[in-house]
């Protein structure tokens, strides 16, 4: 059991992310639980500075963004064939009607 320094709750070791860098593979874990760590990351990503940085990176790396989006879309379609089929059929039907 380990205590999170942010929320103060005592949680199991599996509720903490493993440390990276020079501590990778040692079994050491972060001092904040996964929930507190994720909340802090989400809050930081919502700041205007972080959003501006992301927009700038996307503008500078358009090819990479396009490749990542294609890869993610393909993965999603493979994992959700039951959801993808109706979307594809609806798209085909709409394209035939418009022409």
Q: Is residue 49 part of a domain?
A: no
Per-10-residue mean pLDDT, the chain, length 99? 95 94 91 96 96 97 97 92 80 68
Taking the chain, what is the end-to-end CA distance rounded to the nearest angstrom? 64
Q: Is residue 50 part of a domain?
A: no
**pTM assigned to the model:** 0.62
Tell me, what's the pLDDT at 30? 94
Q: Is residue 66 part of a domain?
A: yes
Tell me, what DSSP letter sits at residue 15?
G
Domain range for 26:
2-44
Number of folded domains that form the chain = 2
Q: Is residue 64 part of a domain?
A: yes
Q: Is residue 19 part of a domain?
A: yes
Tell me, what's the pLDDT at 98? 58
Q: Other CB atoms closer than 10 Å to residue 41's CB: what's the count?
A: 11
Q: Is residue 52 part of a domain?
A: no
Q: Is residue 28 part of a domain?
A: yes
Distance CA 99, CA 91 (A): 13
Q: Do residue 38 and residue 66 come from a single domain?
A: no
């Amino acid at each position: 059991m380990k205590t999170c320094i942010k929320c103060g709750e005592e949680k199991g070791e599996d509720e903490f992310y493993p440390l990276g860098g020079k501590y990778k593979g040692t079994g050491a874990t972060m001092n904040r639980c996964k929930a507190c760590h994720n909340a802090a990351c989400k809050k930081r990503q919502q700041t205007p500075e972080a959003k501006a940085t992301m927009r700038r990176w996307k503008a500078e790396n358009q090819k990479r963004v396009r490749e990542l989006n294609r890869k993610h879309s393909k993965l999603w379609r493979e994992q959700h064939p039951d959801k993808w089929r109706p979307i594809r059929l609806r798209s085909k039907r709409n394209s035939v009607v418009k022409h």
